[in-house]
Chains A and B, each alone.
Chain A
Amino acid sequence: MRRLTDNWRSTTARLILIYGSFFALWGIVVIGLIHWQAASYLTRVSNELIGRQADYFSMLDEPTRRHALNDYVSLETRQLNAWGLFDAHGRPLAGTITALPPKVVVNGPVAIVPQGLKRNDGHAHVSVRAAAVRLEDGHILLVSRDTSIVDRIGTIILQALLWGMSLTVVPGLLGGWLLTRGPLRRVHAIREATLPIMRGDLAQRLPVSRRGDELDMLAGIVNAMLDEIERLLGEVKGVCDNIAHDLRTPLTRLRARIYRLQQQFDEDSSENATLEACLVDTDALLNRFRALLRISELENQQRRAGFDQVDLAEILREVHALYLPLAEDRGQQLELQLPSLPMIRADRHLLLEAFSNLVGNAIKFTPPGGRVVIRARAAEDGPWVDVCDSGPGIPVDQRVAVTRRFYRAESCRSTPGSGLGLSIVSAIARLHGYTLQIADSESGARLSLHCRDVASV
């Protein structure tokens, strides 16, 4: 399933996040630096100005000072400047400032009064800088200037930072999310394409677009690898098949010679018995090669020429009738449980072969007195056929291996057989697009063939 979080796991998303964080951090540093420099410059300028003005006022004589102070206030239309005259004890004498802030040292440096000054003209500026000088008559002159402009500039810079960030980060994230969707869609397409490959269909290849980007390069590499794997597997299989094919002819001749030789001896002679044993062994060899070639024939059979509407129930009845005497001879019960089944599209001969193998196997591995059940169940996506036995069962770790060529479970090495029966079944299942499931039954193994309607998939 494709989830939203998948998008954020992609390389593009990660790059966008990393670059985004980096740029955000860098923006903060740059703007912080600007803010700091601007603030310190403005502060310095204000301090110098206030200091100089205080000195200037202190040097004037009384009437000129009063004029100058009034000009000082009225020239600044925004009421930034203010002053106050206090007696030696700090009682206000004139001006709009009515109290001496404790922070301001007389004849000291320019001080910041963040909470503002007490004034009688209704203007209460938040943050001011102020300087006090003692005049020659012992009075104290306090001049102040509103420096909240410095803070305001800081706020403007901070707001600019936030706006800039949000305008960068939000479309960036959105764009990034959109950008990752394309490649992810292709990754999903690749995953879809690998499913049949993982199921063993090595003829499939990953999709390659015309863009030739990283994903296509990767898909190209994987496809080249698949070509090579397919070639090697084909070679191995080919060698295997060739050996089987080439050995079959001399083996057939060998069998014919043994047979002719045997005919020359008396039926009860020891030579005849020995040659009979030779024939049995040769037949076993020939059967094995035949089964091996049969599998590769099935695997190479891509066309579905023999496909037709077939009656699955009829096939199961035939297989049941075919094996019933064998089961009875071995003292086993062979049951057939058939509900009404729809017709399916399949190759009748191949299905007969597959079910014969399954039932033959079940009978072979079930001890005398045991029970083998052929059970069909209808399902929406095609009927299931279970062949259950009361044999030793197939251990979980060997379930995949049993469908491989020649594989035989450790516990049944002593049972005669080629070990190719289930490989044939699984090759037939693959050809039909069916699935072969191996599981436990109540008392032994359960092999199920799901005759999935391929057209409905």
Chain B
Amino acid sequence: MPRILVIEDDDVTAREIAAELASHGIETDRVADGREGLRRAADPCYDAITLDLMLPGLDGLSVVTQLRGQGIATPVLMISALSDVNERVRGLRAGGDDYLTKPFAPDEMVARVDVLLRRHRQQAQQTLLCVADLELDLVRHVVRRGDTQLSLLPTEFKLLEFLMRHAGQVLTRTMIFETVWGFHFDPGTNLIDVHIGRLRKKIDAAGCAPLIHTVRGSGYSLAQTD
């Protein structure tokens, strides 16, 4: 069972994070102070850390900087009330792995933690991604479904790569938008749905078992259904 260190000074938020992660079978320990957080984060028993940026004692940015300075590579999800892109960039540069703005939807937070956990586990750089009979060759830039080679536009290719790298996980629209396009604003319309729809039309052509699934209220997931 994965274990996560929650460094968060706000009781309500901490309880929310713990409850939501627990419902997904993830164990949590909570620390309310930056200095104490830094000390505990060195413990290798944690698979990931959620880190509030505004903390008493030592601020989150310093925590993650010192953590990385000590050579500790535990994935860190930074949680901040500041939504500005520059804050995000600063956080990621300091060594954070992902950045989430408060207030957040719990499923969004869980999805992000999930991604961090799995990234931690499968460190090896894969060049060939496979889900069911779908194959994506990162080196030759080729996508196949069964025997058919699919022609994808560059964005569609990146989108599929992201979905396949996190096969079986729920990926929210925001996560997709942030990772595939690298944009950090609210695209407003059903933009992501349209892009997914296009990709779906190519991947899940008639006669094939659908691989891309809509997770109601949350986002999308690419997985093989039994």
Contacts and interface: CB of A to CB of B under 8 A. Distances in A.
Contacts of B190: 326
Contact of B189 (A267, A276, A294, A326): A326
Given A318-B181, A322-B181, 4 more contacts: A256-B105, A259-B105, A259-B106, A306-B86
A375 interface: no
A417 B105 contact: no
26 contacts: A249-B102, A252-B104, A255-B105, A256-B16, A256-B105, A256-B106, A267-B216, A276-B216, A287-B188, A291-B186, A293-B83, A294-B186, A306-B85, A321-B153, A322-B183, A322-B191, A325-B194, A325-B195, A325-B198, A326-B190, A326-B191, A329-B197, A352-B183, A352-B185, A356-B183, A360-B187
B33 to A, nearest CB: 22
A139 interface: no
Contacts of A353: 183, 185
B103 A252 contact: yes
B188 A357 contact: yes
B75 to A, nearest CB: 23
A364 interface: yes
B189 A305 contact: no
A259 B84 contact: no
Contact of B191 (A249, A294, A352, A360): A360
A291 B217 CA distance: 20
* Size bracket of the A interface: 35 or more
A169 to B, nearest CB: 66
Interface string B178-222: 000101111111110011011000000000000000001110000
Nearest to B102: A249
A442 to B, nearest CB: 25
A356 B185 contact: yes
Interface in A30-81: none
B151 interface: no
A349 interface: yes
B217 A259 contact: yes
Interface string A316-355: 0010011101100100000000000000000101101100
Contacts of A279: 217
A166 interface: no
A352 B195 CA distance: 18
A198 B14 CA distance: 46
A360 B103 contact: no
B189 A301 contact: no
Interface residues of B, number: 32
Closest 3 CB pairs of A and B: A252-B103, A353-B185, A349-B85
Interface in A344-396: 347, 349-350, 352-353, 356-357, 360, 363-364
B155 interface: yes
Contacts of B189: 326, 360, 363-364
Contacts of A417: 188
B185 A248 contact: no
Interface of B: 16, 20, 83-86, 89, 102-107, 153, 155, 181, 183-191, 194-195, 197-198, 216-218
Contacts, number: 86
Contacts of B153: 321
A291 B198 CA distance: 28
A426 interface: no
**Which residue of B86, B103, B195 has the most chain A CB atoms within 10 A of its CB atom?**
B103
B216 A249 contact: no
A449 to B, nearest CB: 16
Q: What does DSSP make chain A's interface, helix, strand, loop or mixed?
A: helix
Contacts of A325: 194-195, 197-198
B163 to A, nearest CB: 16
B155 A421 contact: no
A391 to B, nearest CB: 15
A356 B195 contact: no
A325 B85 CA distance: 26
A347 B185 CA distance: 13
A259 B218 CA distance: 9
A294 B184 CA distance: 12
A349 B83 CA distance: 13
Contacts of B107: 256, 259
B217 A276 contact: yes
B85 A287 contact: no
Interface string A242-258: 00000011011101100
B63 to A, nearest CB: 22
A271 to B, nearest CB: 13
B187 A356 contact: yes
A127 interface: no
Nearest to A421: B188
A325 B199 CA distance: 11
A297 B84 contact: yes
A287 B188 CA distance: 8
Nearest to A289: B103
Contacts of A349: 85, 183-185
A314 to B, nearest CB: 12
Contact of B186 (A248, A287, A306, A364): A287
A297 B186 contact: no
A98 B103 CA distance: 125
A363 B104 CA distance: 29
Nearest to A306: B86
Contacts of B184: 349
Given A297-B84, A306-B85, A360-B187, A248 B103 contact: yes
A232 to B, nearest CB: 26
A88 to B, nearest CB: 125
A297 B185 contact: no
A403 interface: no
Contacts of B104: 252
Nearest to B188: A360
A305 B87 CA distance: 10
A357 B183 CA distance: 13
Contacts of B217: 259, 262, 276, 279
A290 interface: yes
B216 A297 contact: no
